[in-house]
Amino acid sequence: MAKTENGRPSVDMGSIRTLNSSHMEDESSLGSDSEINGFTSERQADRYGFIGGASEPAVLRQREVKWLDMLSHWDKWMIKRFNKVRLRCQKGIPPALRGRAWLYLSGGKVKREQNQGKFQELDSQPGDPKWLDVIEKDLHRQFPFHEMFVSRGGHGQQDLFRVLKAYTLYRPEEGYCQAQAPIAAVLLMHMPAEDAFWGLVQICEKYLPGYYSPGLVRPI
C-alpha cells in the first residue's frame, strides 16, 4: 500500500524515476522521424532532393535500355503490353528520356504527326496583341531560378512565348490562361518547343478539357 502523509498519499520518487527512465529508453529505441519512416542517413537523395530516390548508375542505364526498346516499338507495347508500360511508368521514367516518353504517353506525338507544319505556321504569325501583352508579363514569373528562364529574353523565355502564343492562335476561343505558363515551362525543360506545344495541346484538350476555358478567372 502507498504511504500517506497528513492523510494524503505520498509520492514514491523512486518509482517515478524508474518510469521516466523506461519512457526515455522507449523513445530512443524509436529513433528519429526519418528512421521511423524508413529513411536513414545512409540513403542518398536524388537530384530533386527526395531521400531514397537516387538510382545506381547501372540500374538507371538498365531502365534507359528498356525504355529505348519500348519507345522504338511503341504501338506494339501499347497494344500488347500496356500493363507493363504502366508498371514502368510507376517505377519512374529515366530523366534522359522523360520528354520523349511524355510526348508518346500523352498522344502528343500522334497529334504532331497529324498536323505536320502546323506549329511552324502558328509560330510565324504575329498573334493577337491582347494575349501577347499578358503572356510577356508572365514570362519572368516562370521558374526564375531555373537556368532556362533566369535571363530575360533568353532562349527559355523566347520558346515559352512561342509555345503560349501558338496556343492562342490554335485555340483563339480560349486564348491564354495564366495557369498554362508553368505547364508549358516544365514541358520545355524536357523537350523542344514544337513538342512542348503539342504536349500542352494534349493536356488542355484531353486531360483537362475546359479547365483553361474563359470561365476560369484571368489576370487583369
Whole-angstrom Cα distance, residue 194 to residue 175?
18
The kind and range of the H/E element at 8 are strand 8-9
Q: Around Cβ 67, how many Cβ atoms within 10 Å?
A: 20
Asked if residue 181 is part of any domain, the answer here is yes
Q: What is the pLDDT of residue 54?
A: 57
Q: What is the pLDDT of residue 60?
A: 86
Residue 158 has pLDDT above 90, yes or no: yes
Over residues 55-68, the pLDDT tens digits come to 678 888 999 999 99
Over residues 83-97, mean pLDDT: 94
Q: What is the pLDDT of residue 109?
A: 96
Whole-angstrom Cα distance, residue 133 to residue 149?
18
Residue 29 has pLDDT above 60, yes or no: no
- Structurally, the chain folds into a number of domains equal to 2
Indicate whether this model's pTM tops 0.85.
no
Same domain, 118 and 150: yes
Asked if residue 119 is part of any domain, the answer here is yes
Asked if residue 13 is part of any domain, the answer here is no
Considering only residues 20 and 98, tell me which one the structure prediction assigns the higher pLDDT.
98
Same domain, 187 and 117: yes
Domain that holds residue 68: 50-92
* DSSP 8-class letter at 116: T
Same domain, 127 and 193: yes
Listed in sequence order, the residues at least 6 apart from 182 whose beta carbon sits closer than 8 Å to its beta carbon are: 142, 143
Helices (H) and strands (E) in the chain, counts: 12, 2
Q: What is the pLDDT of residue 179?
A: 93
Alpha helices in 139-214 (DSSP H): 155-170, 180-188, 193-202
Asked if residue 106 is part of any domain, the answer here is no
- Domain closes at, from 34, 60, 92: 92
Asked if residue 58 is part of any domain, the answer here is yes
Same domain, 141 and 64: no
CATH number of residue 149's parent domain: 1.10.8.270
Residue 112 has pLDDT above 60, yes or no: yes
Asked if residue 37 is part of any domain, the answer here is no
Considering only residues 57 and 164, tell me which one the structure prediction assigns the higher pLDDT.
164
Whole-angstrom Cα distance, residue 198 to residue 163?
9
Phi, psi of 196 (to 5 degrees): -65, -35
Asked if residue 102 is part of any domain, the answer here is no
